[in-house]
Each structure stands twice: as structure tokens, then as C-alpha cells.
Amino acid sequence: MTNFKYNRWLIGCIIVGLIAALYIGWNRHIVEENNMTVELVFDYDDIVELARIEGVPMQTVMEQMKDTGVSSLAVYESTLKKLSENGKAATVSGSALLNSYYSGLLTEPSWCQLIEKGLIVPENIYIVCHDETTFKEVKEDLERRLSEDRISILQAGNVRVISAKANSEKVLKWNLGLSTEEMRIVNEAGFYIVARPSNYQAVTQSDIGSVFDRLKGFNVSDIIFSGDEVLGHPDYITDTANAFQADELTLGLIEHPQQLQFFKQEGLMELVKKNHYKAARVYSIPKDEQVKMKVNQAVERLILTDEERNVRINLMRIFEKPESGMTLLETNLKYVKYVKDGLEEKGFTIGRAGTYELYYPQKICFILLTVGAVAAGVLYLSLVFPMRNRYQYMLLILISAILITPLALGKGAIVRSAVALASANLFPALAVIWQMDRWRTGKFSSNTSLAKIMVAGAVALITTGFLSFIGGAYVASILGDVEYFLEIYIFRGVKLTFILPIILVTIAYLRRFNLFGGEEYSGNILGQVKKILDCPVYVKSLIFFAVAAVGALIFIGRSGHTMGVPVPAIELKLRAFLEQVFYARPRSKELFIGHPAFMLAVMAVYKKWPNFLFFVLVIVATIGQGSLVETFAHLRTPVFMSFMRGLGGLVLGAGVGMIAMLLAHLLYNLSSFVGRGTTKDE
């Protein structure tokens, strides 16, 4: 029997790296705890519409929303269509004016004179504003959107008319600029303004200046850009960033519907960096989803999102249908109150969105983590293909030197990603391998009571889990800076972390055990693989592999953030229940798959079950350990929550595993009883 030795110096390097990881992890926890203010935001236009539907004065609706907990209102740029609907301006195409004139329907002398002088042309659109402020802003905005050459002012009696050379149908929907009147109303009602400007075609520095000049004098908390580009893209993003910093504004980053980084806006990442990461993650329930929700469901969604994904701006939508026995206004006030109360129960405060401090761990910590991860890799190699210590040290020094050099020079982004990926795969594999060696060299009696086996299984599971936590600590710390908290950068290789630990453990298993029993192929990987390939294929074998393949597809398809295999309704309900019971809901693949399989693997050791069944259980158990570490790869999730999620999974998974053990025990006794009965009958 091959003796696999654990090199103490390599373990020492891993422990030193773990100390660095815990140091970073604690600092990261403090940074996350200092960013606990959530901003509740509604669209100003939605509040106006709600007041109209309910027949309640807008001022009353705004006061009630403010008192209930809304922090801010989002103000979008005006359009000619919106101004016309609000009675702020009237628009008419030149062709419509000419048709009215020649049909005798146009009777206003001043307009008739303009036509007779040839000043009205069919291709233009004509705008009459009903107050001086609107006139000034529409004129300025059209000149910037179109150019001054395409704008002229006509005089129709005592009325000034803006003439614009533009397609009358399209120009009605164009974004113009932010309305100072709307912003004034928002501030006077006690709200912050969340500005929603858009970019200009062929944007200039003057255009950027005009946007921020219009914001001056108003209490603006954040800017969330509308459209596919940030203001200033492509050439003047630096000017936009300078304006942000001058006014101490927060940039809103709208989370992508697939929960992976952000809604695509050209120039967004560049602006975040140039604004020194003074940014907040934004979440809004998609409109097509909210219409299917009850208020309580939407409340749970928002609170969970803020907790788990570090969202600090909730861009909330108005519920368009009242709940039973309530008015529409009461329904939406209930929505706001429940969100506010729920967040405060979780330790959040409501107000202007919090942002992270500019946190970056020290280089020395990254270096220690890198050496620790390399040591883990060398340790794995030594546990699969034993080698002399001097070769292990040579590998450690050589690989560490290669990886440390760019870190020391301050250019180690790729190295940090590689260390994170290696840690996420190596440590769960090493944890399972360590446990396999305990099983391989230990003495286990098949007469041991079920209760003792259960206790032994729970202890082994939690011990192995804490060894896997080392990998989680490495991942959470090597990528533990503000860029990853905000998800500017993400952990790469999520799918791989579900597959590679299984491969690593399989190789180690075949070096330690014989799938077929006996000693003939023990430790001979190629021999066992060859024997598997030489086995005749039966229909039952094909069915087994087909089921396994489907299971693998579901397993991989449900990992990561892609829209893959849907989650069954019953599991969604169970998740909701666990979210209420636990600080952080354990992951299903740990709770119901990996950890129960680990417990059954312990039972297999005691009861001397067939080697192949033991192998399958070990591999499935590895899924749970890999998932535990992969939890920490979600860098936007607070590190303490990731730890509690993994810990809850271990504890509850041990309980589910005990139930599985009991069922296996009953099934074994039942089959034995039936077998004895059959023998007696014969």
C-alpha cells in the first residue's frame, strides 16, 4: 500500500497564507459593514401617474411616500411628447400647419402671416412653450441635440415659436434635457434627486458641462445614465468623471438581468474607474416579473438582493394593480413600508446610497496567499504522485517566483485570478483526499451502532468542510478589493470549479483504492481505466450513464448565472422557507446532494459497501465541498454571509445525511429480511 505523506513545510506555507487570508477577510468584513445604507428610489413620472390614477394631489402622494420611507425620486430627461402631455408645450409639424391653412381651418392671423411669408416649411416642427423656463430649456436642449443651425425662433404675434429642422415624428421622442421644474418639485418635497441623463451624439465638453450646470443648486444623490452609453463616451469620459468628483456624486450601476455584472453601457467601466469607484449597485425588478408578483414577494426579492448582492440603490416600480381591499396608493405605500422595515430589521439604514471605501489589500498579503496556493498545488501532486521533498521544494520555489514577480511589480491581476481559480479547485479536493486517507488507514467495524456512525459522519463532514473553508478564505481574500465588491471584475471559472475538483478527487481515489475490489489494480490508474473500458456494455449500464449524463447537465446548467435549467417550483418554495429560517440560505447542491452523500460515504466505510458505490458517494460528496468554496467566488456577497451559508449547509446537510443514513439502514434491514424470507420459502 502506497504511503502518501503530507509535507509539513507545504502545510506551513498554506497556514501562513490562511493567516493572510483571514487578515484580509476581517478587513473586508469591516469595509462591508460600513456600507449599510440603502436608497429607495421611485421614478418621478410614476409618482405623477399614481396621483392621477388615484385622483389625489401629487403633493399628498409625495408626502406620504416620503413619510413611508422613499429616499429619492428619479428624474429623466424631458421629451417634446412628455411636455405636450403635461401641458408645458405644444408641437405641430409644418405640413400640418400648411394643410390647415390651405383647407381654411387655420384662422389665427399671426400664423397665417408666417405661412404667407414663407417661414413655415413642411419638413420642420414648430414648438410653442407655455412658460419662459420651458422655452429656454427646450431651445437650449434642441440646439445641443440638433445644432444651432437647425434651430430658429419665429414670432407669431406675442408668442415665440421654436422652429426645428427635424423629423416631426422622431423628434417628439428624443431626450432633451433634465427639467429644472421637476427637480425643484422633487427637492422641495424633501427627496434626493437621482438624475437619469443620456449621452449626446458627437458629445462635446460643452455638452457635459451643460448637464452638470443644470444640476447645480439641486440636492442630487446619484446619477444613473439612461441609454446604451454614459455621458461623455467615447472621448470625454474624463470630463464626466471630473464633474462627478467635483459634485461628490455617486454613479449608479444597473445590475444585469442575469445578475452578472451590469446592464451594458458603453464607457461605464472606464467611468467607474475614473470616478475612483464611488459607485453603487442598482437593482430594479423587471417589469414583466413584477406584474406577476404580490407585494410580499417583491419585498422579499428586494431585501434578499440588498443583503446578498450588495445592492445599495433599489430602483422601485409602482404596482399597477391594487391588492384586495386596498387602494392603489395604499398598496404602494405598503410596498415601501415593508421594504423599509425589512431592511432596517436586517441592520440597514435608509438614505443616500452607501459606497465602499477604496480598499485594496497589501501586496505582501497577496504574495503570501500566492505561495500558499502554490504549496497546495504541490501538495496535491505529492499526494497523487509521491516525490522526494527536494523536488517539492523546487517546484514551490520556481512556481512561486514566477507568480510573485508580477505581484511585486503591481501588475498581478492575472496572477490573482489564477490563484483564486486554483484555490477554488485545489482546497476542496485536498479536503476530500485528506478524509479519504483517514478512511483508507483507519479501522472501522461493521458492527458499529448506527448512532455512532452518524456522529462520526457529522464530525468528519464538519472537519472536511472547515478544511474546504480554507479555499473559500483564499478566494475571498485574493480577490478582496473594491473592484470585485462592485463586480467591476468577477471570478472567472465558475463552471470549472464544479468539475475540476471531481476530476482531481477521482485521480486521487484511483491512486488509493481499487474500483473492482482486491489488490490487483490498487493504485494503478491506467489499469483501472483500461479495465473499465474493457467491460462489456449492458443496457442497464447505458441507462445508468444516461441518467448520470442528464444529472451532470442539470448540475452544470444550474451553476453560474446563465439562463440554464429552470428551478422547480417546489424547490423555490423550499428556498424561500430556508431564507426565513437561516441567516443565509444553504445551497441546494450542498444541502441535498453533496453533504448527505458524504454521510453515506462514511456509512459505506463502516458497512464495507462495494468499492464502486463508495467511489460514487465520494465523488458526489466532492460536489458539496466544491460548492462550499465556490460560494466565496461571489465577491459581491458579503464575506460573512458566504461563511454563514457554508456553515449552515454543513450543519443542516449533516442532519439530512443522518436521515439518509437511517433510510439506508432501514432499506438494508428490509432487504435482508426479504432475502431471509425467500430463502426460508425455498
Per-residue confidence band for 541, with pLDDT thresholds at 50, 70 and 90: low
DSSP 8-state class, residue 229: B
pLDDT exceeds 90 at position 20: yes
Distances (CA, A) of 78 to 75, 167, 181, 182, 352: 9, 18, 11, 10, 24
Quote the CA–CA distance of 579 and 646 in Å, as a whole number: 14
| pLDDT of res. 668 | 81
- What is the DSSP pairing of strand 151-156 with strand 159-164? antiparallel
Neighbours of 396 (CB within 10 A): 20
Quote the CA–CA distance of 377 and 302 in Å, as a whole number: 41
Looking from the CA of 469 toward its CB, the CA atoms found within 13 Å total 20
Question: Burial of 170 by CB count in 10 Å (0-12 exposed, 13-18 middle, 19+ buried)?
Answer: exposed
Quote the CA–CA distance of 224 and 315 in Å, as a whole number: 10
Q: What are the domain boundaries of the chain?
A: 8-31+359-678, 36-77+177-350, 81-171
User: Under DSSP, is residue 536 helix (H, G, I), strand (E, B) or coil?
Assistant: coil
- If we measure between CA atoms, which residue out of 599, 646, 605 comes closest to residue 620? 599
Could you tell me if residue 204 is left (phi over 0), alpha (psi between -120 and 50 degrees) or otherwise beta? beta
pLDDT exceeds 60 at position 679: no
pLDDT tens sequence across 99-120: 999 999 998 899 999 999 999 9
Question: What does the pLDDT average to over 12-21?
Answer: 98
- If we measure between CA atoms, which residue out of 23, 634, 31 comes closest to residue 356? 31
Q: Please state the length of the chain.
A: 682
HEC assignment per residue over 564-614: CCCCCHHHHHHHHHHHHHCCCCCCHHHHHHHHHHHHHHHHHHHHCCCHHHH
What the block records as the C-alpha cell of 81 is 411628447
What percentage of the chain carries pLDDT values higher than 70?
A: 91
| pLDDT of res. 585 | 82
Sequence-distant (≥ 6) Cβ neighbours of residue 571 within 8 angstroms: 588
pLDDT exceeds 90 at position 451: yes
Question: Burial of 172 by CB count in 10 Å (0-12 exposed, 13-18 middle, 19+ buried)?
Answer: middle
Give rounded-to-5 percent helix, strand, coil for the chain. 60, 10, 30
| pLDDT of res. 268 | 97
Whether 143 and 101 have beta carbons less than 8 Å apart is answered as no
Per-residue confidence band for 587, with pLDDT thresholds at 50, 70 and 90: confident
* Superfamily holding 36-77+177-350: Glycoside hydrolase/deacetylase (3.20.20.370)
The widest CA-to-CA distance across the chain, in whole angstroms, is 116
Question: Burial of 620 by CB count in 10 Å (0-12 exposed, 13-18 middle, 19+ buried)?
Answer: buried
What the block records as the C-alpha cell of 149 is 443651425
pLDDT exceeds 90 at position 28: yes
pLDDT tens sequence across 612-657: 899 999 999 999 999 999 999 999 999 999 999 999 999 999 999 9
| pLDDT of res. 175 | 93
Quote the CA–CA distance of 315 and 302 in Å, as a whole number: 10
pLDDT exceeds 70 at position 599: yes
pLDDT exceeds 70 at position 329: yes
What the block records as the C-alpha cell of 349 is 439604514
- If we measure between CA atoms, which residue out of 260, 305, 261 comes closest to residue 284? 305
Residue with cell 467635483: 246
Residue with the bigger pLDDT between 144 and 571: it is 144
Instruction: State CA 135 to chain mean position distance.
Output: 44
143 strand-pairing partners: none
| pLDDT of res. 361 | 95
Sequence-distant (≥ 6) Cβ neighbours of residue 367 within 8 angstroms: 404, 407, 408
Amino acid at 467: L
Adjacency order of strands within the sheet including 125-129: 89-93, 125-129, 159-164, 151-156
Burial state string for 660-673 with b = 16 or more CB within 10 A and e = fewer than 16: bbeebeeeeeeeee
| pLDDT of res. 672 | 65
Amino acid at 536: P
Residue with cell 444553504: 586
User: Under DSSP, is residue 340 helix (H, G, I), strand (E, B) or coil?
Assistant: helix
pLDDT tens sequence across 481-498: 999 999 999 998 888 988
Whether 232 and 211 have beta carbons less than 8 Å apart is answered as no
Sequence-distant (≥ 6) Cβ neighbours of residue 424 within 8 angstroms: 471, 475, 491, 493, 497, 626, 629, 630, 632, 633
DSSP string, 418-471: HHHHHHHHHHHHHHHHHHHHHHHHS---TTS-HHHHHHHHHHHHHHHHHHHHHH
